[in-house]
Amino acid sequence: MKFTNGFWLMKKEITPLYAVEYAGHEMRGRELTVYAVGKHIEGRGDCLNVGMLTVRLYSPAKQIIHVTVSHFEGGCARRLYADAADLAPDIALHEDERQLVFQTGSLRAVICKEPNRWEIAYYDGDRFLTRTGYRNMACMSNRENGKRYMVEQLSLSPGEYVYGLGERFTPFVKNGQSVEIWNEDGGTASEQTYKNVPFYLTNRGYGVLVDSMGDVAFEIASEKVEQVQFSMEGERIGYYLIAGGTPKGTLERYTGLAGRPALPPAWSFGLWLTTSFTTNYDEETTGSFIQGMADRGIPLHVFHFDCYWMQAYHWCDFLWDPQTFPDPRGMLRRYKERGLKLCVWINPYIAQRSRLFAEGKEAGYLVKKEDGSLWQTDLWQPGMALVDFTNPDAAAWYRGKLKSLLDMGVDCFKTDFGERIPVRGIRWHDGSDAEDMHNYYTYLYNRTVFELLEQERGPGEAVVFARSAVAGGQRFPVHWGGDCSATYASMAETLRGGLSLACCGFGFWSHDISGFEQTATADIYKRWCQFGLLSSHSRLHGSSSYRVPWLFDEEACVVLKEMVELKCRLMPYLYRLAVEAHEKGLPVLRPMFMEFPEDRSCLPLDMQYMLGDSLLVAPVFEESGEAEYYLPAGSWCNLLTGETLTGPGWQKGKFDYHTMPLLATPDTILPIGACSAQPEYDYTEGVTLLLTEFADGACARTFIPDTKGRKAMYAEAVRNGGTITVTVTGGGRWSCRMAGKAAARIEQEDERAVVYL
């Protein structure tokens, strides 16, 4: 939201109350309150007829400062950020004639006390991060509609880039963009998005989380090119400033505050195949898909039934369509006997024709309007209503309906939708603000389903496939990218969305391989299979046509088989990344700048990514098979071609459908598993420790987990002159080899190997 007319003037309807100068402070317990008056005070008479902003600083955790700015404090409270941690750190306050310093760890907020000069500057040690100062912090009054808006602006330094703000499909670097934190079902080709998170990360080693679940408007170097502005309606705004030193360090602190992903089960990393969003499927159809994959030797691990497992107009009643699926329990048993996990589509909308509508209406489990009647719409399902998850009894009722499906043999749920939440004239069971609930609803929806799965299947076995999210939603993995199209441009925008979401602490992410809308060419299908199997989770799904590979061409079957088998062999590495996402909040898919923050060439890159810390992936986006990608410094080895390339610098290559830029980082131990058919197996049994080229003196360490996330094997490799010594502890059966080139020889004993170069 913009309030100014250029730098000097305000919009004609806006009256600003800016923080102009310090007017006193109080320290109560761990909270510092600072008063900022709206004009320069020279004498006592100036203290009359003037507005004031109240600024409170508090630290919920080391290296994090929570700042709130309020004007009038007599209004109704809004919903703040969900379930933020409070770790009660040590804080310090220092004061002299010129300034106040509020400190937690090495993070300092320096508040200027000088007359006619308002400023709060943030430092990590002696390193400047950002500041709010002249004509930044404000309450804006709109004379035309009578509304007030709270505004804060934080400075950007030259060369500072802003990332994140949810899963955004617009340019990856957010500088110059206006962003509205408002969940919408808008596909992947616009500025709307399903997953809005009021958190941004910069390459200067800090991040900012606005603490509201409501509608926050960001102007990122747009209204004022040297500022990030965020604003919202009301008399209060708050934000956490989080200093981590590096992008990964900041994410680790942010997710410590906001929540880290649960550890998904290892089986969920395999290949998911769905019925697609089609109406004409039954057990014969789905069975033909499963058998077709088996006939072609393509490993398949999860089968998903989309919308039409239920009768049309009955969504959601959670009953199998009896005409299409007369024996659902038997069908699920037969599929599980083939080693498959099973997923079914759900959403939180209850059609009027559903058996649950009257039941939910009678019990008061559906969202109501202010006059006490049910809110209903014909958008999506005729006469549909909405489950009110602010009512604990309604959440328990909904879980009970899903439990019957788990008892039948279903393993997980695709938690679709959750964005089309009404705001006008709505009364929630717990009295929540209607605008806040528009975004927050998806958090309650996915938490309800995820907690049921944890309760019934146990910790480490719960997984959903969710489309919508808000801050904190990363706790309930996995999320997928929504409705993309079957084009290279849409494949690229999908990747941008995943990279932006990764900057907000979402550890696990997927997308519809080959696009949801339309049907891809065989060329795009094969290239998207490469990209999709090098994501944390991999799903074949579409709209009006099936996505089995033989409908594209026979080579697509070969490509898909190769990529699924590669992913299964990479599981000792990928599941280590999953454990780190769970324990530290670091995403599996990472933007280049996150791993290489000192390499300025990496800052804008959005057509390649790091799969964890050891693999660089550059999907091919051209029908010609050409790819151009950037390598940071060092010697890199392509796992698929064996070619060794040296960075820093740009590389060009042409790749057939069986190769692509997939490069292991220098000085790396990459564990390659012995199983190519399943994602869930003993990762330490027969594992190969693949060593990339080590610089002299370089040392690398890694661990290999078991399928429950426990650290089962540790490996260390150190180069000294012409040898690399590898030490392994923790058991298991292993061997080692060099990537890209043969070693002169390798001598291996029980827990030690020496590689002669």
pLDDT tens digits, residue range 94-131? 999 999 999 999 999 999 999 999 999 999 999 999 99
Total number of domains in the chain: 4
Residue 209 lies inside a defined structural domain of this protein: no
Residues 328 and 335 sit within 8 Å (Cβ to Cβ): no
Q: How many of the other CB atoms lie within 10 Å of CB of 43?
A: 6
DSSP state of 362: H
Residue 183 lies inside a defined structural domain of this protein: no
- pLDDT for the residue 741: 76
Closest of 259, 154, 258, 135 to residue 206, by C-alpha: 154
**End position of a domain, from candidates 664, 695, 710:** 664
Mean pLDDT estimate for the chain: 96
- Say which amino acid occupies 203: N
- pLDDT for the residue 267: 98
Are 660 and 693 found together in one domain?
Answer: no
Q: What is the mean pLDDT of residues 82-95?
A: 79
Domain containing 132 — which CATH number? 2.60.40.1760
Closest of 367, 450, 386 to residue 414, by C-alpha: 450
Domain containing 644 — which CATH number? 2.60.40.1180
Are 453 and 575 found together in one domain?
Answer: yes
Cα–Cα distance, 659 to 654 (Å, whole number): 9
Are 626 and 504 found together in one domain?
Answer: no
Q: What is the mean pLDDT of residues 546-564?
A: 98
Are 639 and 745 found together in one domain?
Answer: no
Cα–Cα distance, 5 to 180 (Å, whole number): 20
Q: Kindly name the residue from 119, 211, 215, 416 that is annotated as catalytic.
A: 416
Are 477 and 330 found together in one domain?
Answer: yes
- 82 has pLDDT over 60: no
Any catalytic annotation for residue 124? no
Are 442 and 300 found together in one domain?
Answer: yes
Cα–Cα distance, 139 to 156 (Å, whole number): 21
Residue 244 lies inside a defined structural domain of this protein: no
Residue 469 lies inside a defined structural domain of this protein: yes
State the residue range of the domain holding 647: 609-664
**End position of a domain, from candidates 155, 174, 191:** 155
Residue 187 lies inside a defined structural domain of this protein: no
Q: What does the radius of gyration of the chain's CA atoms come to, in whole angstroms?
A: 27
Residue 250 lies inside a defined structural domain of this protein: no
Task: Give percent of the chain above pLDDT 90.
Answer: 96
402-444 pLDDT tens trace: 999 999 999 999 999 999 999 999 999 999 999 999 999 999 9
Q: Kindly name the residue from 124, 223, 252, 419 that is annotated as catalytic.
A: 419
Closest of 231, 212, 218 to residue 438, by C-alpha: 212
Phi, psi torsion values for 579, nearest 5 degrees: -65, -40
Cα–Cα distance, 303 to 293 (Å, whole number): 11
Are 23 and 105 found together in one domain?
Answer: yes
CA angle 174, 179, 184 (to 5 degrees): 125
Are 148 and 293 found together in one domain?
Answer: no
Cα–Cα distance, 79 to 200 (Å, whole number): 20
Any catalytic annotation for residue 483? yes
DSSP state of 244: -
Are 653 and 692 found together in one domain?
Answer: no
Q: What is the mean pLDDT of residues 21-33?
A: 95
Q: What is the mean pLDDT of residues 196-209?
A: 97
Chain position carrying tokens 């997927």: 510
Q: What is the mean pLDDT of residues 8-30?
A: 96
Residue 321 lies inside a defined structural domain of this protein: yes
Residue 732 lies inside a defined structural domain of this protein: yes
Q: Kindly name the residue from 124, 167, 185, 483 that is annotated as catalytic.
A: 483
Residues 286 and 328 sit within 8 Å (Cβ to Cβ): no
- 212 has pLDDT over 70: yes
How many CA atoms lie less than 13 Å away from 69 in the CB half-sphere?
27
623-673 pLDDT tens trace: 999 999 999 999 999 999 999 999 999 999 999 999 999 999 999 999 999
Phi, psi torsion values for 136, nearest 5 degrees: -110, -65
In the beta sheet, which residues pair with residue 649?
Answer: 631
pTM as predicted: 0.97
522-550 pLDDT tens trace: 999 999 999 999 999 999 999 989 999 99
Are 18 and 101 found together in one domain?
Answer: yes
Cα–Cα distance, 744 to 299 (Å, whole number): 36
**End position of a domain, from candidates 664, 699, 728:** 664
Any catalytic annotation for residue 407? no
Phi, psi torsion values for 577, nearest 5 degrees: -65, -35
